[in-house]
Structure formats: structure tokens, C-alpha cells
Amino acid sequence: MTKTGWRPPRFVPAVDFTIYGVEPSWPGRRAVDGVACSFRPGSPTDPPYGVWLGHRSEDGLGGLRVGTFRRDAMDRLPDAGAPQGGPLAAVAAVATSALVDITIPGPGARADEPRTPDLIDRLVRHAHSSARHYADWPRENILLSGRTVAAKLWRFAGAWAGFADALPDAYIVVLGVNLDAAGLPIVPLAGTAQYGLDLAAPIDRRQLMVPGMDPPHTIVPRPNPTAYHPEQIQLLLSD
């Protein structure tokens, strides 16, 4: 709720674009991780412009998030935390922010782990700085719509994230933990029934909270559940 008493609506419109995920034959667990919407007090809610789908391996140790973001909507965003970087920096910022979120140790982190008063700020700044320099990220191949395409990937703190801009109408954002970027075919989906929620109908935002999820609300496992990664420690202890 805002200071004016306005609440985002419980229901948001159905998704009106093609959603991408891992091919249906993949045997792991699946869930809708979230939808991206723009809320404006006093105005109807626009259809979502982005969808995150989560995939967790059968052994529970690996996972992949696949984000489908409408190209026209992302190209209109005001830099998405990556000023002067243009639309691709905005997409890169979605990837780096998601990666920083999932690499932070969870509620079971050891009490002797290093802390700084501006812990989150430092990590957010690192995410935005890395997004602005997406052109320097290495190119790696992913399987998208039955063909091999180049994606820009950023690796940090035991996980990786990145994006592909090979589609005419959407950006595909990917985030992986303990899985090979090129190993999982990403395909357009006929529906989201396998993910436990029909996104072709109006969406009850309460249904997006999957039981067992920890913040950042994804079924993808944290790569650092109880302790910081050395790359995080180096960043947190730097002046």
C-alpha cells in the first residue's frame, strides 16, 4: 500500500505474448516465478510485459530461470537502473539484478559472515555497473527456438545470467545455477499448465507465491545458501 492508501490490484490481465520456457520433456520441477507489470494509481493495469518461469533440476541442486520480456515495452523503459546504456543495458540490468538477488545467502546464513551497513546498496550498484558494461560480457551459445543463438552472459558469485536479443518481438533473459547455459533447449510454449498457473487468463497475484519459495521468490536454488561467495566477500570488503 502507498502513502495515499492505494493498493496494486489483486488481479492483473492475462499475458498477451508468447512465453518461452524449457522444452516440455525436461523432467525437473517448474513454476511461474513472477510477472512484470506496470501499476499506475487510478488507471487500468496494462497486461504484463514480462514473465519469469522457474525450472529446478530433479536433484534440487540446479535451476534455470527464463524470462520473456516484450521488446517494445523494454525499449520504452527509462534505462531500468542502467543510465545512458540504452535498451540492451535495461535488459542486462534485469539479468544482473536477478543474479545478485539469488546469490545472496538465505535465512540460514552463518552469523559470522561479513556484513557491512550498505551491503545491499553495494551489490545493487555492482549489478547496475555490470549491466552498463554488458558489451564486455562474453558471448555464449544457448538453444533458442530450435537453433543456436549467441547470448551475452555475466558470471558472478557462483551463478550466471544474461540475455539474448535474437527474437523480433521479445528479449529472453536467462539465469542459471549449477547448469550449463547451452544444455537446456528454450522453446516457445503453447501454454503454462506445466507451471501450475494459466497465464492466458487474468492472474491472481496471490497465486504467484509458490509454497517453499524463499526470497527472491523462485524455485531455482540459491548457489550460496549459508555463506557468501568469495567474489561477494571481495566486493563487500572493498573500500
Q: What's the pLDDT tens digit per position in 158-178?
A: 999 999 999 999 999 999 999
Predicted confidence at residue 206, as pLDDT, reads: 77
Cα dist from 2 to 7, 9, 41, 45, whole Å? 7, 12, 10, 16
Coil vs helix vs strand at 83: coil
Residues with Cβ within 8 Å of residue 32, at least 6 apart in sequence: 51, 52, 53, 54, 192, 195, 196, 197, 199, 208, 210
Q: How far apart are CA 125 and CA 81, in angstroms?
A: 9
29-85 pLDDT, tens digit per residue, is 999 998 988 776 666 678 899 999 999 999 999 999 999 999 999 988 765 444 456
Pairwise CA distance, residues 83 & 236, whole Å: 23
Is the confidence at residue 216, as pLDDT, over 80?
A: no
pLDDT score recorded for residue 1: 46
Contact 61, 158 (CB under 8 A): no
The closest alpha carbon to 65, from 162, 196, 203, belongs to 162
Cα–Cα distance for residue pair 47/199, rounded to 1 Å: 11
Report yes or no on whether pTM surpasses 0.85: yes
pLDDT tens digit sequence for 92-137: 999 999 999 999 887 766 655 656 667 778 888 999 999 999 999 9
